[in-house]
Amino acid sequence: MKRILITIISLGISIGCLQAQTIEITGKVVEINSQKPIEFATVKLLDTQDGQLLAGTTTAADGTLLLTTQKTDFILEISFIGFITTRISEYTVIDGTVNLGTIRLSEDSELMDEVVIRGERSTTEFQLDKRVFNVGQDLSSTGASALEVLNNVPSVTVNIEGQIQLRGIGGVQILINGKPSVLASDGGNALGTLTADMIDRVEVITNPSAKYDAEGTSGIINIVLKKEEKRGVNGSITLNTGVPNNHSLGFSLNKRTDKFNLFSQLGLGHRTFPETFETLNSNLSEQTFIRNRGDGEKNETFFNLILGTDYHINERNVLSLTGNFAYELETEYSNGNFTAQTGTAAPHAGWTRDEATEATNPKWQYELQYKSDFSDKDDHYLLISALGSSFAKKQQSSFDNLPSFGESALQDRQQTDTDFGQWEYTFKADYTRPMTDKITFESGGQYLITDVRNDFAILGFENGGWQEIPERTNTFFFTQKVLGVYSTGAYEGDKFGLKLGIRAENTDLNTLLEQTEEENRKNFTNLFPTLHSSYKLADNFSLQGGYSRRISRPRLFDLNPFYNIRNNFSIRTGNPELLPELTDSYEITGILDLELLSLSSSIYHRYITQTVENVTTFEDNVAITMPMNIGTNKATGLELNGKITPNDWLSLNADFNYNYFNREGTFEASPFDFTADQWSARLTSKFSLPADFTLELIGNYQSAYQTFQRTISGYALADIGLRKKIMKGKTILNLSIRDAFASRIFENETVQNNFRQYDYRLRGRFITFGISYGFGKGEAMEFSGQKRF
């Protein structure tokens, strides 16, 4: 690893020397009337001879631009939706710098009533402490869910159960607009009601500062939702249809005045998720085997409404109120064909297990936020917010075992009833003050309250009626209160930057099984120091380093001890005694930025204690899996990200992640020690074709990897996206094919001394066609219909 780091540094120094004659171009783009900065204006550097693109960028939030070139003769072109394009060909080079000053853009009156499409931004942008994935540029996200959007984000993988990993490790904290949300929790059905058209960008923070919640051992994924800020009335409407069933309608409407910004989004639709599966339980001691093969499907009808307003009290004070209501109606069916056999003989018994499930899932979320900007310095502000949310689930499932052949074939009927409710309240305050032009101080706190009640019952059909099974029926209460306070100080000079932080969090956790009176109370306080630094070795090469300490508290469904009996030979249950994981995370990153090529390379190490693993025990051909704290995990990895734009019609993005880990610990009084590795790669190709067509091809590969007891197989998949603009960009046609070759197969195998368990699942190919129309100064959106893959 040291040699790799030295090589990266040497490469950067060498390139920096070769680029010593680079010219740096700066300026600020504003509206000509209001003098307000224009964010995301497109800036192109063109060759004066042939008009070829030399370099490009977009303006920052404050309207500033920064470009570098070795050319001394060029034309600068600045454009933005609804404004007249400006070209600059006269400039002066002073000490290798061209300062264009303030560039004022005028509105184009001919485009005032036309929709224009979002400026072309890079799919992935690298910032000081995070990577930003711009959803609008991912064509294959048409008809996609929030989970599928995450699965296209570099470093992120999502399995068929909706479990999210970052750099191959779980324990990811999911935030929405920078705050915890029931919509992103396990109880909230894993981002089920958030769709791709609602998402503006996804921020991946692998080493968060103390300002962020310490939850999430592998880092934070922040999903930022769209909120239009353009003046006037803007909106769009989108219709999707797909195979299998993926039909949806999306609508957005926004109005911006001097005092108010009103925004809304509406989505409704119906979708189907077919699946084929196979499981095999092998009792190696007695040479008996239970196999289950079958198929099923899940159907969802959904409705989602977001309403909000920003009230600009004056130029420096804004009050925002947002509400979100989502509702899902679920039905699920499956048919499993079970066979039992001994040794190599033919099966001696067979039966089918039919499942029918119905559930309703209403969700509410509301937030009040106040921001006050102080007049003495830019970025001096106070932000206070209060957020509340609730999620309810009423679900009933019935299971019928019907004999096919053999005297020992299983015949019975079972039923489960679930009445679930979760309430979350978050109170947060953040204060930021620049002490000087280079020194910034931050401080704040957060109080998070989570309250859950889950009534769960398993019933058997006996003596002509349904009877509760007492040992598998109970009411589970979960209450968690987390109080956190933090403070950070940062110095950011021309070449060197340093940010130090400390966060303290107190956790008060209580679980209770009402009928059995089993109560578990935990109260603990943790300190979470953070350190971030950066050094600019050359204009186009810099190094960043970071350290953070993180925690991953047990999730609700990891604590809940109720049994999942979908397959009553393969049962999952929770563990109320589970302890939180703690992680020390170290990272060094090198970033090289050339005119047509950008590269990023990171070396990272994580040391995780009280590691949570799913542990399977086996008895009477039944495998019971529950999470347990099993030893430590030391993971060291290398991540590479690159983008090249050889011309104005082609761009390539590549991502590669490799990590090697060492697992140590003790289980059932026996020590274990093993090493393993895993890697993943993604290549995204985007082609700008004639007649306003855009084609996107995405290839993914995830290698096999090993856990404490399991081996998880690898897979490869391909996604295809095609976009066509018509009616001067007012309307967009989208075609999306996800898992084009139906090759995303999930397999895992558990092998122990006396048993073996095998599991196989396949969802298959999804094809979606969408049409989107925008009006005013809005933008056409690709509304999502799909929830999970």
pLDDT in tens, 542-596: 888 999 999 988 877 788 887 778 888 888 888 888 899 999 999 998 988 777 7
pLDDT digits (tens, 9 = 90+) for 525-537: 999 999 999 888 8
% of the chain with per-residue pLDDT over 90: 33
What's 232-776's CATH class? mainly beta
* Whether the predicted pLDDT of 8 surpasses 50: no
Q: What is the pLDDT of residues 686-700, one digit of tens each?
A: 888 888 888 889 899
Cα(78)–Cα(89) distance, integer angstroms: 12
- As a whole number of Å, the CA-based R_g of the chain is 28
Mean pLDDT of the chain: 82
The answer to whether residue 501 scores a pLDDT higher than 90 is yes
From first CA to last CA, the distance across the chain in angstroms is 36
Percentage, residues of the chain above pLDDT 70? 84
CATH class of 2-111: mainly beta
Query: Between residues 350 and 554, which one has the greater pLDDT?
Result: 350
The pLDDT tens digits of the residues spanning 62-103 come to 788 888 888 878 888 888 766 778 888 888 888 888 888 889
296 has a pLDDT exceeding 80: yes
Sheet (strand 219-225) strand order: 124-126, 131-134, 199-205, 219-225, 172-176
The string of DSSP codes covering 293-359 is EEEEEEEEEEEEEEEEEEEEEETTEEEEEEEEEEEEEEEEEEEEEEEEEETTSPPSEEEEEEEEEEE
345-355: average pLDDT: 94
- Number of neighbours of residue 683 by Cβ within 10 angstroms: 16
Average pLDDT over residues 330-350: 93
Highest mean pLDDT among 17-31, 112-126, 332-346 belongs to: 332-346
Mean pLDDT of 104-128: 50
Average pLDDT on 704-725 reads: 90
Residue 106: its pLDDT value, please? 77
Beta-strand relationship, 597-609 and 581-593: antiparallel
Q: What is the pLDDT of residues 636-679, one digit of tens each?
A: 999 998 888 888 788 888 889 999 999 998 888 788 899 999 99
How far lies 542's CA from each of 18, 273, 594, 736, in Å?
15, 45, 12, 37
At 549 the pLDDT is 93
Q: Which residues of 716-751 are buried (b: 16+ CB within 10 A; e: fewer)?
A: ebbbbbbbebeeebbbbbbbbbbbbeeebbbbbebe
Backbone angles phi, psi at 123, to 5 degrees: -60, -40
Q: Does the pLDDT at position 703 exceed 90? A: yes
Separation between Cα atoms, residue 663 and residue 672, nearest integer Å: 8
Which of 363, 418, 446, 330 has its CA nearest to residue 183?
363
Question: What tens digit of pLDDT does each residue of 584-594 get?
Answer: 999 998 988 77
> 185 versus 488: which is more confidently predicted?
488
Residue 452 near residue 422, CB atoms below 8 Å: yes
- In whole angstroms, how far apart are CA 649 and each of 686, 689, 728? 8, 7, 19
- Residue 233 neighbours by CB distance under 10 Å: 16
Q: Retrieve residue 129's tokens.
A: 């402490």
- Residue 57 pLDDT greater than 90, yes or no: no
Backbone angles phi and psi of 86, in degrees to 5: -115, 135
Listed by start position, the domains of the chain span 2-111, 232-776
C-alpha to C-alpha distances, 586 to 52, 515, 744, nearest whole angstrom: 42, 45, 32
Helices in 402-545 by DSSP H: which ranges? Answer: none
Instruction: Give the tokens for residue 749.
Output: 């195998």
pLDDT over 60 (residue 780) = no
pLDDT at 5: 42
- Give the C-alpha separation, 536 to 496, whole Å: 6
pLDDT score of 396 = 93
The position carrying tokens 């996800």 is 738
Q: Is the pLDDT of residue 751 over 80?
A: yes
366 burial type by CB count under 10 A (0-12 exposed, 13-18 middle, 19+ buried): middle
Residue 143 clears pLDDT 70, i.e. is over it: no
pLDDT-derived band at 334, boundaries 50, 70, 90: very high
- The pLDDT score that the predictor gives to residue 453 is 92
User: Would you say residue 4 has pLDDT above 70?
Assistant: no
CA 320 to CA 310: how far, in whole Å? Answer: 4
List pLDDT tens digits, range 375-429: 767 789 999 999 999 989 999 999 999 999 998 888 889 999 999 998 999 999 9
- Kindly state the average pLDDT of the residues 509-513: 90
Which residue(s) pair with 476 in the sheet? 454, 513
227 or 498, higher pLDDT: 498
Res 195: pLDDT:
59
Over residues 425-460, the pLDDT tens digits come to 999 999 999 998 889 999 999 999 999 999 989 998
Has residue 778 got a pLDDT over 50?
no
Q: Measured between alpha carbons, how far is 569 from 414 in angstroms, rounded to an integer? A: 14
Please report the pLDDT score of residue 9 as a whole number: 40
